[in-house]
Structure 1
Amino acid sequence: MHKSHLIARRFGGSNEAPENMVALYRRANLSGMKIFENQVAAEVNAGASVYYLVRRKYSAYSKDPPVPIGVSMYYWSSSGAHDEDFIPKPTP
């Protein structure tokens, strides 16, 4: 498992707050989430205001401790750009 941040540190997310952490496999964090975060960073770096939302998604059949089946990511920019993606938890 990989300690993933829902809101990346570069966007002001905490490295310490438990509510900003999610357990994902490394590949989900360093590929899918990173690609999406880079889109958001490009908007911010271009001077746009960005609304950014990241949510954990759990199965109704999650075990204890629950591990999300993935993360839903959304952003809307003052430039008019927007995107959404679901980053599934790949197998380890």
Structure 2
Amino acid sequence: MRTRAGAWPVAFRLDDSSAMAQGMALSGFAQVDIVARVSRLGSPSAQPGDIEGRLERVAPGSSGLRLVLDQVVGRPEGVRQGPGATAAGRR
């Protein structure tokens, strides 16, 4: 699913038609991982500097989930770039 960042928050439903590979039904899995990403280059693959959030081991059919985009790709987990931070994540 692709949306513009300014259109958030977005309600969505994942079903078999949402599978990323043809012939691979989401309903065939006990759990799935959900990843949302803001891509600086518009690429579907993660690139350094993109911002993403993940929900791991989600049972298909789950509802009321909230996914927060709070990680910078290419940066160690837990290190976020904030005001006054350098590219290395330090002030």
TM over 0.5: no
Query: Normalising to structure 2: TM-score of the pair?
Result: 0.26
Higher RCO (C-alpha under 8 Å, 6+ residues apart): 1
Query: Which protein is bigger by CA-based radius of gyration?
Result: 2
Say which structure is richer in strand.
1
Query: Normalising to structure 1: TM-score of the pair?
Result: 0.26
